[in-house]
Amino acid sequence: MYYFKRNFRHFTLFFLIITLAIVLVGCNNEESTEEPTLNTKLTDKLTLDQDYEGKVYQTDRIGKATLVKCTDGDTADFLSGGETISVRFLDVDTPETKGKVDPWGPAASEFTCDKLTNAKTIVLEGRDKIKDTYDRYLGYIWYDGRLLNLELVELAYSKATAVSDDKYGDLFQEAETKARLTKKRIYGEKDPDYDYGRTKVTLEYLRTNIEDYYGKNIEFTGIVTRKLGPNPFIEADGFGVYIWMNYKTTSKFKVGNEVKIKGTVTMFDIGESYQINGVTKSTITEISKDNEVEPRVVTFDDITKDMEGSLLRVNDLTIINSEVSGDARNIYVKDQDNKEFMIRIDKAVSSKFEEVVFNKGAKIDIIAPLSSFKGEFQLMLCEVEDVIFK
């Protein structure tokens, strides 16, 4: 009987130990399977350890500032020491919103601008090297006692960049490690406001990098400057592009209309001018009407590849020849330096010019978008009023 009781007690104790172990393992497993979440614990704990009253950032490496303009997620203009300066945020690199738009770029920009716009106090903190190789100011941005740069990393709007020797380097690396584990935002989460089927670009970025976008789907905004039949030239900030509508017409492409367009970068022919194709009425959004359209005044020597699609004005030309080319017409002119150029009246608009006489020796000014054919530039005349006879 004693032997039975003793063994029963041992068995009971053993059972309790096993049960407790199972419970503890279960708790540990529960903790280990819990998904990491974004938080700002590091930013919450960090405080600015320098006095900034009465100091100026440009000379003292710290000082109060006032927001002038938000640029994007990691750049803004501030008024500091009576001077407006552009500051690139240290140790961060948020997704792009200028030139082209990357996933989470607009969200990062909105977050940054919201914090700075509503801040009561903004302090710029610099390091020994206050400018980069592009002569841009560099700084840590404190708003109401919080380090915005670090917060952007904690919330997965940016990775930590080039932080190994920086004052807050260890914190930035820790923030990135924790944010990366969440797989949120830039670490794998889809941006609900981004069209992953298309790259958003400005016309300047597109025109100066257009070879990189051949065959790709893009989205951009610009103003209609001229039309060749149903096909418009779209321009923004002095950079333009030609839209091939494949004989489809739409009232959205009225000269002066600002539009947002989704299309595909193609070529007129292999090795020829780039253009935008695949545009339909459903991929055009009209933004505004009756915008002012002014050509850029240039000489023939000024013309470069980046101007293709832009509306130009060239003055003081002399007609040296005019010839019919199928349903179109070519007008050959020279400038005061005897440099020759061709003006093309395409068949899409040739009927408008049936009554216009291009006499040899006539003096004219021309307003027209720039194009190219077989490696040669040409001006694409679209409206009768764009030929100004002297």
Positions annotated as catalytic residues are 88, 96, 136
Q: What is the 3-state secondary structure of the chain?
A: CHHHHHHHHHHHHHHHHHHHHHHHHHHHHHHHCCCCCCCCHHHHHCCCCCCCCCCCHHHHCEEEEEEEEEEECCEEEEEECCEEEEEEECCEECCCCCCEECCCHHHHHHHHHHHHHCCCCEEEECCCCCECCCCCEEEEEEECCEEHHHHHHHCCCCEECCCCCCCCHHHHHHHHHHHHHHCCHHHCCCCCCCCCCCEEECHHHHHHCHHHHCCCEEEEEEEEEEEECCEEEEEECCEEEEECCCCCCCCCCCCCCEEEEEEEEEECCCCCCEEEECCCHHHEEEEECCCCCCCEECCHHHCCHHHCCCEEEEEEEEEEEEEEECCEEEEEEECCCCCEEEEEECCCCHHHHCCCCCCCCCEEEEEEEEEEECCEEEEECCCHHHEEEC
Distance, in Å, from the CA atom of 302 to the CA atom of 364, rounded to the nearest integer, reads 18
